[in-house]
């Protein structure tokens, strides 16, 4: 199975669907995140579902347990393959999110965003390294019964060694030839798609290296070819 999930972080629904149709032979799934969901909601998800690939609803839910469970129930109808919550919402929130998820939906917990480095983390009051914080939150997610976590490719190898049957989603991927600046320099803990896969990633989330490429099909095919 192709592990690449294309992040459809585009403001226009027609453009998102056109991109998905173009590259669908070179990716294994589509990720719809906050930008997409806030703009197009359930209607947009139903439209993208017609492309025929598994959907990853990256809603990064983070609230009290009752509210997150209610949100999970409200998205059953969209039949997502994967949904995200924030691990920092705590164990009870993650347990209730999993209990409320549809039968065939993997629930994965975002640990430390790939846009943060150790200094950013310290500024939020979290001491220690982002690496240690990812491991701590991965253990918590496993205890809560989640299917896996979201982390950077810099941590996935160690998380994989500790959590053998976990499901690991890795974003923040940059092909070796891509200049981070040209893609928006917001990602800080990056690796190449191949490095992430070799370290144990189950899913590779890739957005701008494909969506902003001059020719997205060529870019997607090239990345697929490195795996």
Ligand X SMILES: O=C(O)c1cc(=O)[nH]c(=O)n1[C@@H]1O[C@H](COP(=O)(O)O)[C@@H](O)[C@H]1O
* Ligand-binding site membership of 114 (annotated): yes
Known catalytic membership, residue 60: yes
Q: Which residues of 69-94 are buried (b: 16+ CB within 10 A; e: fewer)?
A: bebbeebeebebbbbbbbbbbeeebb
Using CB under 6 A, which of 65, 148, 172, 193 touches ligand X? 172
207 lies in the binding site for ligand X (CB under 6 A)? yes
Question: Active site residue: 22, 63, 120, 139, which one?
Answer: 63
What are the DSSP E strand ranges found in 42-141? 55-61, 82-86, 106-110
* Ligand-binding site membership of 9 (annotated): yes
- Nearest approach, Cβ of residue 201 and ligand X (Å): 12
Q: Which two tokens stand for residue 12?
A: 């226009």
Distance CA 207, CA 224 (A): 14
* Ligand-binding site membership of 24 (annotated): no
Known catalytic membership, residue 58: yes
* Ligand-binding site membership of 198 (annotated): no
Question: Active site residue: 14, 22, 50, 60, which one?
Answer: 60
Nearest to ligand X of 65, 172 (CB atom) = 172
Location of structure tokens 């299917």: 147
Binding to ligand X (CB under 6 A) within 33-62 occurs at 33, 58
* Ligand-binding site membership of 187 (annotated): yes
Distance CA 31, CA 108 (A): 13
Reference 147, options 212, 89, 95; nearest CA is: 95
Distance CA 99, CA 80 (A): 15
- Nearest approach, Cβ of residue 80 and ligand X (Å): 13
Location of structure tokens 């070819």: 225
Nearest to ligand X of 154, 187 (CB atom) = 187
**CB-CB neighbours of 55 under 10 Å:** 21
> Which residues are known binding-site members for substrate?
9, 31, 114, 174, 187, 207-208
Q: Which residues bind ligand X (CB under 6 A)?
A: 7, 9, 33, 58, 84, 110, 113-114, 150, 171-172, 187, 205-209
> Which residues are known binding-site members?
9, 31, 114, 174, 187, 207-208
Q: Which residues are catalytic?
A: 58, 60, 63
């Amino acid at each position: 199975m192709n592990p690449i999930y294309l992040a459809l972080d585009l403001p226009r629904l027609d453009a998102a669907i056109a991109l998905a149709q173009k590259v669908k032979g070179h990716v294994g799934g589509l990720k719809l995140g906050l930008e997409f969901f806030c703009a197009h909601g359930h209607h947009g998800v139903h439209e993208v579902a017609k492309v025929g690939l598994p959907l990853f609803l990256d809603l990064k839910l983070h609230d009290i347990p009752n509210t997150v469970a209610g949100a999970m129930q409200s998205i059953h109808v969209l039949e997502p393959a994967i949904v995200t919550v924030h691990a920092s919402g705590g164990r009870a929130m993650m347990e209730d999110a999993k209990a409320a998820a549809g039968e065939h939906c993997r629930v994965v917990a975002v640990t430390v965003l790939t846009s943060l480095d150790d200094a950013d983390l310290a500024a939020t009051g979290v001491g220690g390294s982002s690496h240690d914080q990812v491991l701590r939150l991965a253990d918590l997610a496993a205890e809560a019964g989640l299917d896996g976590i979201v982390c950077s490719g810099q941590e996935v190898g160690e998380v994989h060694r500790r959590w053998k049957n976990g499901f690991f989603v890795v974003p923040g991927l940059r092909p070796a030839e891509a200049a981070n600046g040209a893609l928006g320099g917001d990602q800080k803990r990056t690796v190449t798609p191949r490095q992430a896969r070799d370290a144990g990633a189950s899913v590779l989330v890739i957005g701008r290296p494909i969506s902003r490429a001059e020719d997205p099909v060529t870019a997607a095919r090239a990345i697929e070819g490195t795996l």
